[in-house]
Amino acid sequence: MIDELEWRNAVNQMTDEAGLRDLVKEKKISLYCGVDPTGDSLHIGHLIPFMMLKRFQQAGHHPVIVIGGGTGAIGDPSGKKSERVLQTMTQVKHNEDALTGQMENLFGTENFKIVNNYDWLSKISLLDFLRDYGKLFNVNTMLGKEIVATRLEVGISYTEFTYQILQSIDFLTLYKEHDVQLQIGGADQWGNITSGTDLIHRQEGQEAKVYGLTIPLMLKADGTKFGKTAGGAVWLDPEKTTPYEFYQFWVNQDDRDVVKYLKYFTFLSKTEIAELAEKVKTEPEKREAQRRLAEEVTEFVHGKKAVEQAEHISKALFSGELTALTAEEIEQGFKDMPSVTIANEVRPLVTLLVDDTNIEPSRRQAREDIKNGAIYINGQRQQDLDFEVDPSTSFDGQFVIIRKGKKKYTLLRVKH
């Protein structure tokens, strides 16, 4: 298992490599990763540790997800130069429910558990917290943790400073109640994870078999952080990032990164990945590796039907054959295209191009472009100067698509 993870370049640090290797050889272990409900959707950056958890699940181990209803109410200092804005408990609860649904979608319901740290953290009184746990944490050691040290210049509140104690209590609780022996997290979580193993050893004895494993910070070939686009984060929630946009994100990956992502984000074998890596070298223009990456990750997150739909939209946009698309596919494929709302009434094409949409600057220019074959309505070239557009005849009466030239699309949303 560890060899497999290392081949996939998925290991940054381990607290005791030899001990962890022996443990996963001798038995199927329980392991966990946490996520705080700071938003109502995961993004692809969150997928990084959860792909690791999924690999353990497929090998027969027992993943546990901790939704941080307690820690999420506090806010962690990870990677931030300022304090998090505290959320209301109502917002935290809403986010918990949304993230739970996404986790169940990724992990199924077999051999998998979701717990909420609010269930145990909320029951600890201030005095118990200070007596039972505060006494076991040395402030000098806590200040030395990178996650805290990076904030000392600008300052850190006591609330966020204590986050590592709360996360350590999580690991201790899971060890005692669910026999969890391994915590997984991003590279920035090393300080919190080692605080957890230290706490367990102090309370349960040095012989307690608990381990931590972190994942490398994922950077693109150009040195920028993986997972961000010009439009912001790539979300797992299909309402925030449509499956088509999600698919396109992976299709558009750089040749220099695609093999790394195939190793990390897919369950393809070494042989399959080696074959795709060879094609990146010999036939990069075919982008076969990128397409396979997009298929695999989109199916994992959104299912097979979403992959088929994304490919259908891609082919239609590439060929210009739009009539085969459904209204739902139009919504996905044209989400970021310029759009205009029009009335649900038959309009002369020239009037539509000039008065209703400003696609053309003047009637003279509109007529000239129509005559020259530069205007397409719903994928069909239209050269009739007297043509009238009836919105009710296409895409369930919801949309009209006008293309000017080769690539300039405008989506007309029909108001009902």
Annotated active-site residue 229? The verdict is yes
Amino acid found at 290:
Q
- Rounded to whole angstroms, what are the CA distances from 266 to 110, 144, 162, 243, 285? 20, 36, 36, 17, 22
Choosing from 55, 93, 228, 291, the catalytic residue is 228
Choosing from 55, 80, 202, 413, the catalytic residue is 80
Choosing from 13, 38, 100, 150, the catalytic residue is 38
Annotated active-site residue 38? The verdict is yes
Residue 91, annotated ligand binder?
Answer: no
Choosing from 13, 100, 162, 188, the catalytic residue is 188
Q: Do 71 and 115 contact (CB within 8 A), yes or no? A: no
Choosing from 8, 54, 61, 84, the catalytic residue is 84
Whole-number Å distance between alpha carbons of 238 and 231? 15
Q: Do 55 and 5 contact (CB within 8 A), yes or no? A: yes
- Could you tell me whether strands 30-35 and 62-67 are parallel, antiparallel, or unpaired per DSSP bridges? parallel
Supply 278's token pair: 């060879």
Annotated active-site residue 393? The verdict is no
Annotated active-site residue 61? The verdict is no
Burial class (CB in 10 A: 0-12, 13-18, 19+), 155: exposed
Q: Number of C-alpha atoms within 13 angstroms, CB side, residue 25?
A: 8
Annotated active-site residue 203? The verdict is no
Annotated active-site residue 167? The verdict is yes
Q: Do 309 and 332 contact (CB within 8 A), yes or no? A: yes
Residue 167, annotated ligand binder?
Answer: yes
Q: Nearest 10 degrees: CA dihedral of 210, 216, 218, 222?
A: 170
- Rounded to whole angstroms, what are the CA distances from 163 to 46, 59, 173? 19, 32, 15
Residue 32, annotated ligand binder?
Answer: yes
Choosing from 229, 323, 380, 393, the catalytic residue is 229
Q: Do 31 and 182 contact (CB within 8 A), yes or no? A: yes
Whole-number Å distance between alpha carbons of 395 and 328? 9
Name the helix (H) or strand (E) containing 377: strand 375-377
Residue 163, annotated ligand binder?
Answer: yes
Q: Do 123 and 66 contact (CB within 8 A), yes or no? A: no
Annotated active-site residue 188? The verdict is yes
What crossing angle do the helices spanning 288-302 and 243-251 adopt, rounded to 10°?
150
Annotated active-site residue 123? The verdict is no
Choosing from 27, 176, 201, 225, the catalytic residue is 225
Supply 381's token pair: 């070239």
Choosing from 16, 21, 43, 162, the catalytic residue is 43
Q: Please enumerate, by residue number, every residue annotated as part of a binding site for ATP.
A: 228
Annotated binding-site members for L-tyrosine = 32, 163, 167
Binding site, annotated residues:
32, 163, 167, 228
Active site residues: 38, 43, 46, 80, 84, 167, 188, 225, 228-229
